[in-house]
C-alpha cells in the first residue's frame, strides 16, 4: 500500500472525517499567491463548497514519503490525522484532510488574517506593548500545553508557526508536519528535524528527545518576542546556527529588556536552558511560574 492510500485508509479506520479525492481547481478559488515551503505549498482560497475563506496546504509527496520512512513499522499518525484531532481555541482548526485528485495529501484549515510572530520579530514591532507580549506568551504556552496533553511533541515550535489575530488580541499555533507521538519509539536518537535557530541541543546532537525539546524552542521564541533578538546572537541562519546552543551560554534576557518583570525573564531563561536536566521540565511549570507576572509591569 502506497503512502497516499495508507492516509486514506487510516482516516477511515480512525473515525475522523475521510474525504473523497478533492479536485483543488474545481473547489478552490485562489485569492493569494501561493507560498512554497520546505515540505508543502500553501495558499489562501475561497472554498466554493462551504462558502468561506480557507488556508489550503498541499504536501510535497516525495519529501513527505522521505520523512515518513523514518518511522516505518511504528504506525505513525499522519499530519492530517494529528491536525484534525487538535481542537482548541489556541490552535488553528483543520476542517478537512485527505488527498487531491492528483494524489497529493491536502489539509483545508482555518485562515487567520493576522501576522505571524516571525513577522513581528523581524520587523521589530515596537508598538506591541509589554502587556500584549505577555498575553501572547501565555497563549503560546496554552497551545503547547494542549499539544502535550494530547500526547504529542510538536517539534517545530518557532515564531513562524504562531499566527496572531488581526487585532493582536491572541494567537494560534499552526503546522503539525513534524509532530510525533510522545512515546518511546518516536523519541529515540537520530531524528534531526526542525527550525535550526529554535532547535534544542538534543535534536541537534541526535540524542534521545522528549517534550522538553518543545520547551526549549518555546523559550527561544518567547525570548525573541520580548527582545527582538536571539539568545545566541550570530550571523548563521542555517543548520549550523543550532550548534551554538550548547557551545556558549545565552545572553541574559535582562540585558536586552531591563524593564521586564524578573519573574518572566527567569522563566524564559529556564525554558531555553541548553542543559536538558536543568531546563523547565514541563509547560505547566512554566505557566505556573509566570502566573503572578503583572501585565502592567
Residues 6+ away with beta carbon under 8 Å from 48: 26, 27, 28, 29
Cell matching residue 132: 500584549
Question: Do residues 24 and 100 lie in contact, with contact meaning Cβ atoms separated by under 8 Å?
Answer: yes
Question: Do residues 99 and 21 lie in contact, with contact meaning Cβ atoms separated by under 8 Å?
Answer: yes
Residues 6+ away with beta carbon under 8 Å from 209: 153, 187, 189, 191, 200, 202, 203
Structural domains of the chain, with CATH: 3-110 (3.30.200.20), 117-289 (1.10.510.10)
**pTM for the whole structure:** 0.90
pLDDT of residue 14: 47
pLDDT of residue 177: 94
Residues 6+ away with beta carbon under 8 Å from 155: 178, 179, 180, 193, 194, 203, 213, 214
pLDDT of residue 39: 83
Q: Degrees (nearest 5) of the Cα angle 285, 289, 292?
A: 140
**From CA 67, how far away is CA 155, in angstroms rounded?**
13
Q: What is the pLDDT along the chain (297 residues), one digit of tens a residue?
A: 455 555 555 544 444 455 579 999 999 999 988 788 778 999 999 999 999 999 999 998 888 888 888 888 898 999 999 999 999 999 999 999 999 999 999 999 999 999 999 999 999 887 788 899 999 999 999 999 999 999 999 999 999 999 999 999 999 999 999 999 999 999 998 888 888 899 999 998 888 999 999 999 999 999 999 999 999 875 455 556 667 777 788 999 999 999 999 999 999 999 999 999 999 999 999 999 999 998 764
Residue at grid coordinates 494542549:
146
pLDDT in tens, 113-149: 999 999 999 998 877 888 999 999 999 999 999 999 9
DSSP SS3 for 74? coil
pLDDT of residue 126: 73
Rg of the chain over CA atoms, in angstroms? Answer: 19
pLDDT of residue 8: 52
pLDDT of residue 129: 84
**From CA 58, how far away is CA 272, in angstroms rounded?**
33
Q: How many whole angstroms from its chain centre is CA 283?
A: 15
CA dihedral 268, 273, 274, 280 (to 10 degrees): -100
pLDDT of residue 13: 46
**From CA 63, how far away is CA 79, in angstroms rounded?**
13
Amino acid at each position: 500500500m502506497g503512502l497516499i492510500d495508507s492516509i486514506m485508509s487510516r482516516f477511515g479506520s480512525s473515525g475522523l472525517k475521510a474525504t473523497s479525492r478533492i479536485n483543488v481547481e474545481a473547489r478552490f478559488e485562489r485569492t493569494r499567491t501561493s507560498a512554497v515551503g520546505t515540505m508543502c505549498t500553501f495558499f489562501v482560497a475561497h472554498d466554493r463548497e462551504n462558502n468561506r475563506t480557507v488556508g489550503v496546504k498541499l504536501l510535497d509527496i516525495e519529501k513527505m514519503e522521505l520523512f515518513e520512512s523514518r518511522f516505518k513499522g511504528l504506525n505513525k499518525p499522519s499530519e492530517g490525522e494529528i491536525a484534525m484531532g487538535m481542537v482548541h481555541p489556541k490552535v488553528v482548526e483543520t476542517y478537512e484532510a485527505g488527498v487531491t485528485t492528483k494524489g497529493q495529501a491536502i489539509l483545508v484549515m482555518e485562515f487567520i488574517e493576522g501576522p505571524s510572530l516571525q513577522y513581528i520579530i523581524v520587523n521589530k514591532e515596537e508598538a506591541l506593548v509589554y502587556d500584549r507580549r505577555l498575553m501572547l506568551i501565555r497563549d503560546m504556552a496554552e497551545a503547547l500545553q494542549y499539544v502535550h496533553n494530547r500526547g504529542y511533541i510538536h517539534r517545530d515550535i518557532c515564531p513562524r508557526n504562531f499566527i496572531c489575530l488581526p487585532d493582536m488580541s491572541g494567537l494560534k499555533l499552526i503546522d503539525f508536519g513534524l509532530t510525533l507521538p510522545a512515546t518511546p519509539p518516536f523519541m529515540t536518537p537520530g531524528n534531526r528535524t526542525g527550525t535550526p535557530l529554535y532547535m534544542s541541543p538534543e535534536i541537534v546532537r541526535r540524542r534521545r528527545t522528549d517534550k522538553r525539546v518543545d520547551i526549549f524552542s518555546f523559550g527561544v521564541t518567547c525570548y525573541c518576542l520580548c527582545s527582538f533578538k536571539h539568545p545566541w546572537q550570530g550571523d548563521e541562519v542555517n543548520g549550523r546556527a543550532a550548534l551554538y546552543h550548547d557551545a556558549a551560554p545565552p545572553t541574559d534576557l535582562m540585558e536586552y529588556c531591563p524593564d521586564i518583570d524578573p519573574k518572566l525573564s527567569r522563566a524564559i531563561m529556564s525554558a531555553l536552558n541548553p542543559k536538558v536536566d536543568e531546563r523547565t521540565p514541563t509547560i505547566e511549570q512554566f505557566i505556573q511560574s509566570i502566573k503572578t507576572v503583572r501585565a502592567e509591569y
